Amino acid sequence: MGIKVHGIPHGATLRVLATLHEKEIDFELVPIDMKSGAHKQQPFLSLNPFGQVPAFEDGDLKLFESRAISKYIAFNYEGNGTSLFSNKDAKQIADFAVWMEVEAHQFDPVATKLNYELGYKLYLGMETDNTVVEEYGAKLAKVLDVYEARLATSKYLAGDSFTLADLHHLPALKYMMLNKMKQLVDERPHVSAWCKDILARPAWVKAWAMQNDLN
Domains and CATH numbers, the chain: 3-83 (3.40.30.10), 90-203 (1.20.1050.10)
Q: Distance (Å, rounded) from C-alpha 66 to C-alpha 50?
A: 13
Mean pLDDT, rounded, of the chain? 93
pLDDT tens digits in sequence order for the chain, 215 residues long? 699 999 999 999 999 999 999 999 999 999 998 889 889 989 988 999 999 999 999 999 999 999 999 999 999 999 999 999 876 788 888 889 999 999 999 999 999 999 999 988 877 778 889 999 999 999 999 999 999 999 999 999 999 999 999 999 999 999 999 999 999 999 999 999 999 999 999 999 999 999 877 65
Global confidence as pTM: 0.94
Q: Phi then psi for 175, rounded to 5 degrees?
A: -65, -40
Residue 25 to residues 8, 82, 85, 201, Cα–Cα distance (Å)? 18, 11, 17, 16
Q: Phi then psi for 173, rounded to 5 degrees?
A: -60, -45
Residues 150-185 have pLDDT tens digits of 999 999 999 999 999 999 999 999 999 999 999 999
What lies within 8 Å, CB to CB, of 207 at 6+ separation is 9, 14, 17, 18, 21, 170
pLDDT value of position 206: 96
